[in-house]
Chain A
Amino acid sequence: MRRPPDLLLRFTRAERLVHRATAALMLTCLATAGCLYLPPLAELVGRRRLVVTVHVWCGLALPVPLLLGLAFRAVRADVSGLSRFVPADRAWLRAVRARASRRPAGKFNAGQKLYAQWTLGSMLVIVGTGLVMWLVRLTPPAWRTGATFVHDWFAAAIAVVIAGHVRMAVRDPEARRGMRTGLVDRRWAEREHPQWVPAPAPDQEQPTQEQPVREQPVRGGGAPRP
């Protein structure tokens, strides 16, 4: 793929689609939850049966984009990268606490990793408790009371955390462009994700080479190695 040398591919189409589909489902769940739960919205919208149906099916579909995305290598690489803390992540957290400007990070910084894991864990909890509330005949009543309690509190927490996620995105147009087009500016990446940025091409004479080849054995009996 050719692209201007100052742009880096951050997210493939599969990664962007997983993000977009999950976001759409999650926002639909939150919007319908508001229409079921907040009296002014409930009075405005009514149509309880329709709203419940939309809420339930969008909720059940929440994990589907991620599961489908696992068929793509880039998504699997993100999943495994997001799930582990490396020393740079601890340094990032320390830098945030110290309000330092240099914050080491790979493709994802420690905050993004924690956000991703919160999203996965809270999604499992909210879908699980939602199932208990939906399949009313399968579980004892005390479970359902508890599940409703947990569902309510997690929904509120998810709404707050997503508001924070959106606020971060609003303040960083380049990060938004990365999620919208897949491409980010190299200088932005060097500042925000210094350990992720691949080394630039060695020089201008070989603009089509994706990787420097100096460390690799030379095929076909080329120049002898030093």
Chain B
Amino acid sequence: MSEQNEEGRGTPVGRRVVLGLLGLGAAGVAAGPYLLRAQEAVAGRDPTGLTGLLPGGGGFRYYSVVASVPTRDADTYTLTVDGLVERPGRYRLADLRAMPQRRIVRDVQCVTGWRVPDTPFEGVPLAHLLDAAGVTAGARAVRFSCFDGEYTESLTLEQARRDDVLVALKLRDAPISHAHGGPVRLYVAPMYFYKSAKWLSGITVTDTVRPGYWEELGYDTDAWVGRSNGRDDAPTA
């Protein structure tokens, strides 16, 4: 290890370290999908929960586009349904709980890569609320607004009537917490999770699809898991 080369200026250790790191990075990019799957498999059988501390680890991540989101509970929460409908309405949390409920267990897939397997959501099928309001002729789309004051989403009327689209009240069989978008959030099972708007406060039936918050910033409006946003994840529904 005492080699001297290139006119005795010393061993080019720097070049070796940098090239080694670049090689490691490139190998990691190539092998990443497999390594990530292996990491998730280990984490799935880990009773200690320590693997949750690993980079890229599973589980939900909290995303909010505003600085702070007000808290709404059973006393203060309302959901309005308006736009191209015969019977605009306002629903309290108790009203929504009294409606027919549907429970769906699917994977949650975020467009940034994380996936949470077999996650139960439960709530009122959106189609039920649309039927109750009576969608008028000329309606083509549904727009969603949120009580964070900023976030918006939208679906075509056809997408909104799918039976795996819920106005969700429960996540993992418990009331949805504020951090997860509670007390009421949208749940669009077959699409990337940014479509499942948190803190849902308004449903407006419209004549055209208006792109939502992230869609104005370049994300796909028709956000089918595995068939949009340039990704090839396994479909969730």
Contacts and interface: CB of A to CB of B under 8 A. Distances in A.
A75 B68 CA distance: 44
Contacts of B17: 114, 117-118, 121
A50 B219 CA distance: 17
Contacts of B56: 148-149, 152-153
Given A39-B62, A43-B64, A117-B18, A154 B11 contact: no
Interface string A17-58: 000000000000000000001010011011111000000000
Interface residues of B, number: 47
A21 to B, nearest CB: 20
Interface in A127-151: 128-129, 132, 136-137, 140-150
A149 B63 contact: no
A84 B9 contact: yes
> Top 10 closest A-B pairs, CB basis?
A146-B32, A121-B21, A83-B14, A84-B10, A149-B32, A125-B25, A152-B55, A146-B29, A117-B17, A150-B28
Interface of A: 37, 39, 42-43, 45-49, 82-87, 89-90, 113-114, 116-118, 120-122, 124-125, 128-129, 132, 136-137, 140-150, 152-156
A39 B218 CA distance: 25
Contacts of A152: 55-56
Given A83-B12, A85-B11, A141 B63 contact: no
A87 B2 contact: yes
A67 B230 CA distance: 34
A136 B33 contact: no
Given A47-B67, A48-B64, A148-B56, 19 more contacts: A42-B61, A47-B66, A84-B12, A84-B13, A116-B14, A117-B18, A120-B18, A121-B18, A125-B21, A129-B29, A136-B230, A140-B230, A144-B230, A145-B33, A146-B32, A148-B113, A152-B56, A153-B55, A155-B55
B20 A121 contact: yes
